[in-house]
Structure 1
């Protein structure tokens, strides 16, 4: 089952590194991969550590399922509650925060639900629901989808009905759907800046603390899966929390905007 899921759902990114490089399989989110930051970090990791990273690009939920099955050596995801449950279930040895960025709410320029004046993301969502304005959800158990559901909960809304469309797809496909429908959508800022098919969509809501988006690295537990490359995972983790990673992460820009902020924290073990 897992092999079929990998073959049908995952895009494998394999960057060339020197011969006899060690391999590490890491499941990462679509927002991280689509941001372009992976293209900057992976060659540097290979150069400094000799480890070739093979990225399996999926949503957070699927990334954690791959980790639980032992099909990857580590995961880099962005849903703290799910990550902590993953550790509590014994699938990872610990969680290490690496960097953060933010979500934003975009929607049609004419803003029929008047969300641009909302004081919070939850109020914006409440206005969308009251207006019955079209909203596109990823609906794929990704970190973005889980963040969206959390905001609906804060708004006191259970989204349903003709105005709410769950695509079950990644961020790019969901943005394309929103663009075609003239709908509101929650997206990470990096995906929005990389998105060219905007049509009438514009950025309407940003800056709410509820839109904070933390990324964390979780090595798969070798006690649960003895075949995982724990030593290589530790080396990659050390690199991701070191000065070169800080320089590259904080220095990465799209259209003049900083997308990620390095905030690696001390090791937390359980």
Structure 2
């Protein structure tokens, strides 16, 4: 609809399609964080330390352990669907698979209350961790990488967008100064950065 001037997003396949269809221009990598699978310390599905996210999802399904999905077509939900696909499982309609339609923070709260499992970005989990009864059970798999790009909305397609402002914001996000801030953001409060700077890196 042309209601935004610039996007900061983390759903690479959708982003590439958006640019290919002429809606966005000048897609640039900004930073990454990662997704983690969290669940109750009791871990009934016994997924703690499993190396592959898809294997963890298989165990959750086979034990019918409660899994709470955001089911909101967000980048996180898209990633979750990618993992189910890699696991060869279609969870929709299963009793143990609950679709909340909530944002990440609320979804984590409900998951904690119900002692279930979910997929989350690490940053939201760390920010809320002290109030959650959830542990990080699976991390580090390549499929769990969460890469952010900045994309300017194409003024040729949407003449009313603020193209100058969009470019200024995008340039700011990939600037050396901002990348330095990204590198240390969260260290003081959480003991580790919430994001890792990537501007200028070559991508496949």
TM over 0.5: yes
1:95 aligns with one of 27, 30, 43: 27
Structure 1 residues 115-153: Cα deviation after superposition (integer angstroms, max 9, x where no partner): 114221110001000000000011000000000000010
Structure 2's unaligned 5+ residue stretches are: none
The separation in 1 between residues aligned to 2:176 and 2:49, in whole angstroms, is 40
What is the DSSP-based 3-state SS (H/G/I as helix, E as strand, rest coil) of the residue aligned with 1:106?
A: strand
TM-score by length of 2: 0.94
TM-score by length of 1: 0.71
| Pairing 1:151-170 to 2, within 5 Å after superposition | 151-160=83-92, 161-170=94-103
1:106–1:184 contact (8 Å) kept in structure 2: yes
Q: Which runs of 4+ in 1 moved over 3 A?
A: none
Higher relative contact order (CA 8 A, sep 6+): 2
Counterpart residue number, 1:75:
7
Compute the displacement of 1:102 (Å).
0.4
Structure 1's unaligned 5+ residue stretches are: 1-68
Q: Does 1:212 align with 2:153?
A: no
The separation in 2 between residues aligned to 1:205 and 1:214, in whole angstroms, is 18
Q: Does 1:258 align with 2:193?
A: yes
The separation in 2 between residues aligned to 1:248 and 1:93, in whole angstroms, is 25
The separation in 2 between residues aligned to 1:223 and 1:205, in whole angstroms, is 44
- How many aligned positions are there? 199
